[in-house]
Amino acid sequence: MNFTKNAGTTDRALRGIAGIALIALTLSGYLGAWGWLGIVPLATALIGWCPAYTLFGFKTCKDCPAA
C-alpha cells in the first residue's frame, strides 16, 4: 500500500479545523457520538495522506512526489 502524501497544505489545514471543530462540538454536548468522526479528518490532516484520494487518484499536494 502506498502512503505517499497526497494532501496539500490548504487541504490539510481545512481538514484539521473541521476535525477539531467536530470533536469540540461533541465534547461541548452540541453533537452526539457522530462528532467523534472528526478524528478521521484530523488524522488525515496530521499524516498528509487521504485513502480516498489514493483510491480515486486525486492529489492536492503540488510538491509531493508522484506515486
Q: Where are the domains of the chain?
A: 9-56
Q: What is the pLDDT of residue 66?
A: 65
What are the tens digits of pLDDT across the range 12-65?
999 999 999 999 999 999 999 999 999 999 999 999 999 999 899 889 988 877
All three cell numbers of 51, joined, read: 485513502
Provide the pLDDT for residue 20: 98
Q: Is the pLDDT of residue 2 over 60?
A: yes
8 A C-beta contact, residue 9 and residue 18: no
Written as nine digits, the cell of 45 is 490532516
pTM of the prediction?
A: 0.85
